[in-house]
Amino acid sequence: MAYQALYRVWRSQRFDDVVGQEAITKTLKNAIKQKKTSHAYLFTGPRGTGKTSAAKIFAKAINCPNSVDGEPCNECEMCRSITEGRQEDVIEIDAASNNGVEEIRFIRDRANYAPTTAEYKVYIIDEVHMLSTGAFNALLKTLEEPKEHVIFILATTEPHKIPATIISRTQRFDFKRISVQAIVGRMQHILEASNQTYEEQALSVIARAAEGGMRDALSILDQAISFSDETITLADALAVTGSLTTEMMDAFISACLEQNVSAALEVLENILAEGKEARRLTEDLLLYCRDLLMYQQAPQLLNERANLTDTFKELAEKTAADRFYWMIKILSETQNEIRFTNHANVYLEVATVKLAAPPTNTAPAVSSGSGEADGTPVDNEDIVELKRQIVQLQTEVKQLKDRPAAPGKADEPKARAPKKTSSAYRIPTERVYQVLSEATKDHLQGIRGVWEDLLMALPVTQRALLKASEPVAAGPSLLLLAFDYEIVCQRADGNEELRTNMQNSLGLMIKDYSPEFVFITRESWPRLRQSYVSQHKDMKPEVSDAEDEGEIELIPEENQVVEQAKSLFGDLVTIQED
């Protein structure tokens, strides 16, 4: 038989085999045991966390005649046929390649028939968020009026793309990322069962690289087995995952803490020359600084690790905790910046200069060993700014005192002019004009028709941002939103994830419509609208409900007489071209 990948050979066949999802598996087992199963389930979570495996185990357990405590026996013909994928009453569908209306209608029609050999007909729809709007509507009807013998299990990694009407008709289970300890334990079980020798440190490196996914961990483990000679060593795991060795991290962090910029950049260059990937490098350094801080504050949590070098312990002992806080902040910001650039090495070099530069107003100093920062206390940026403002205010007060009073008006109370506050949010006037130039009533009414559904499809925090807003103008490619509060408008404008989620949700609700968004404050909307109209003097605003709808509809000045005649005489007017 041909070789099979580890994640296929060791795919979970019982609920107890699913790692890191104990709350979910216990709930499903009890539901089967008590015969209180639902007609539809939604499994969400990151890749490789057991969603599809749990769905197939559920299909076996609910149809297995020998089920014990909600677990399938995996020995009867029904369990074996489902495991091998030849049971016609358990249908597994990939929505990425079967996302049309016709496919879902075919499923809906087949669901009307009773199962042939199993007790329940189970439909497992993987990557369900890939279904089109029409397909979701076709599926919705089936979920509204389910048959007694049919169960739907929907699996997805992006639940925010699924309409709220679908989610509300399912029992939702959120699969979480699997912990490093759980992944290591599962890999140890697999390797011991396969008589494969290993070093425990190697498994920790692989588990960290998997980022909470068991399937990813087993795929990397497969590579490590092929790469190693007989025993999976720490060096093998570091080579396969592209992670840093402890010596590399010791050298880099030591150079940074010694404020030796040149040495730190040289170490970084050597690391990159070995082909280390920038994102993985940044993550390893971030975890290393975290471990330094943990060892300093609670050494008992890390003492069991065998890879704690003398250099590591020395750095933890002689460095102030504030320095580690600051380094973690710099590395975390760099990690976010690397995600959206094609020049990751540049950001790493800049971060290295920041980490290794001498202490500034915002960079804590290295400790002399007693746990306290050397030298005099350093002012942070906020304190410096406050001092500057105090000096400025003192100067202004002195100037006001020295100014001579105007004759005859010394006793008159001076009217205090209202203080004009400057707006922190810059209104994108040109973008607003672009929206108004293409705005139509149909687009605006379409947006308002699905606005509540759009809000419900967003995460709670993003929904809260949009609660104090409404669409005021819309066109084929742009949508203008007015916010009640300036601070909310500013936060929404800087939230790229909010824009992406809104575009994705609108694309599902309104076919082929994914506009760009322009955010303004509500108080600026009348002024912007009037300014746009006044700049188009050859056009006149149509007298209609466009003012209430927030839409600018303009007609040429030469047609004003015709429009006035129509309003007076109605259908009796006949337009004759000269």
What CATH number is given to the structural domain containing 204?
1.10.8.60
Residues 334 and 258 in one domain: yes
Residues 333 and 232 in one domain: no
Q: Which residue range is the domain that position 325 belongs to?
A: 246-356
**Within a domain: 34:** yes
| pTM given for the model | 0.55
Helix (H, G, I), strand (E, B) or coil at 151: strand
Tell me: pLDDT of 202 over 80: yes
What CATH number is given to the structural domain containing 461?
3.30.300.180
Tell me: pLDDT of 188 over 80: yes
The pLDDT score that the predictor gives to residue 146 is: 78
Residues 128 and 85 in one domain: yes
Residues 222 and 298 in one domain: no
Residues 166 and 24 in one domain: yes
The pLDDT score that the predictor gives to residue 552 is: 52
Residues 139 and 30 in one domain: yes
Residues 121 and 203 in one domain: no
Angle at CA 318, nearest 5°, toward 316 and 320? 80
Q: Domain end: 241, 259, 274, which one?
A: 241
- Mean pLDDT across 537-543: 46
Q: Domain end: 193, 219, 241, which one?
A: 241
**Within a domain: 525:** yes
CB 303 within 8 A of CB 291: no
Residues 39 and 165 in one domain: yes
**Within a domain: 366:** no
Q: What is the pLDDT of residues 46-89, one digit of tens each?
A: 888 999 999 999 999 999 988 888 899 989 999 999 988 888 88
- Mean pLDDT across 16-34: 91
Residues 12 and 146 in one domain: yes
Helix (H, G, I), strand (E, B) or coil at 479: strand
**Within a domain: 142:** yes
Tokens coding 517: 């968004």
Residue 391 — φ and ψ, nearest 5°? -60, -40
Residues 203 and 150 in one domain: no
Domains in the chain: how many in total?
Answer: 4
**Within a domain: 378:** no
What CATH number is given to the structural domain containing 298?
1.20.272.10
**Within a domain: 340:** yes
What CATH number is given to the structural domain containing 154?
3.40.50.300
Nearest to 120 by CA among 175, 55, 75: 55
Residues 262 and 184 in one domain: no
Residues 472 and 542 in one domain: yes
Q: Domain end: 140, 174, 208, which one?
A: 174
Any residues with CB less than 8 A from the CB of 541 and at least 6 apart, and which? 533, 547, 552, 553, 554
- Mean pLDDT across 320-349: 87
- Angle between helical axes of 278-297 and 344-356 (0-180°, round to 10): 30
Average pLDDT, the chain: 80
